[in-house]
Amino acid sequence: MVGLETRGELTKSAACNTGKKSYSGNWRKFPDIDTWLTFDDLFECNRGSMSASGSTSADITKIKVAIIDAAKLGVDERVILGIIMQESHGYVGVQTTISPDGVPTAGLMQCTGCDGFPGKKGLTQAQITRMIKGGTKHYKENLKTWGNKWSGESIYPALREYNSGSVNPDNLSDGQGATPSYVSDIANRFRGWVN
The predicted-structure confidence for 81-125, as pLDDT tens digits, reads as follows: 999 999 999 999 999 998 878 889 999 999 999 999 999 999 999
CA distance linking residue 193 with residue 153, whole number of Å: 22
CA distance linking residue 52 with residue 46, whole number of Å: 10
40, part of any domain: yes
96, part of any domain: yes
75, part of any domain: yes
Average pLDDT estimate for 156-167:
96
The domain that holds 72 is classified in CATH as: 1.10.530.10
Using one digit for the tens of pLDDT, what is the confidence trace for 96-105? 998 878 889 9
**Between residues 5 and 181, the one the model is more confident about:** 181
Which helix (H) or strand (E) is 112 found in, with range?
strand 111-112
Average pLDDT estimate for 134-155:
97
**Between residues 2 and 20, the one the model is more confident about:** 20
What is this structure's pTM? 0.92
The answer to whether 121 and 54 are in contact (CB under 8 A) is yes
Residue 186: predicted pLDDT: 98
Does 5 have pLDDT greater than 50?
A: no
Does 13 have pLDDT greater than 80?
A: no
Residue 18: predicted pLDDT: 63
CA distance linking residue 131 with residue 110, whole number of Å: 9
Domain that holds residue 115: 27-187
60, part of any domain: yes
The answer to whether 23 and 191 are in contact (CB under 8 A) is no
Does 1 have pLDDT greater than 50?
A: no
43, part of any domain: yes
Percent of the chain at pLDDT exceeding 90: 85
14, part of any domain: no
> Distances in Å between the alpha carbon of 161 and those of 11, 78, 107, 131, 177?
33, 17, 18, 19, 12
19, part of any domain: no
- Of 9-18, 66-75, 90-99, the one with minimum mean pLDDT is 9-18
Q: How many domains does the chain have?
A: 1
Q: Long-range contacts made by residues 150-158, C-beta under 8 angstroms, separation at least 24? A: 150/33, 150/76, 151/33, 152/27, 152/28, 152/30, 152/31, 152/32, 152/33, 153/27, 155/27, 155/33, 155/76, 155/79, 156/27, 156/30, 156/183, 156/187, 157/27
CB atoms within 10 A of CB 59: 25
Residue 175: predicted pLDDT: 92
Identify the DSSP state of 157. H
Average pLDDT estimate for 33-48:
96
4, part of any domain: no
User: Which of 117, 102, 15 is closest to 62 using CA atoms?
Assistant: 117
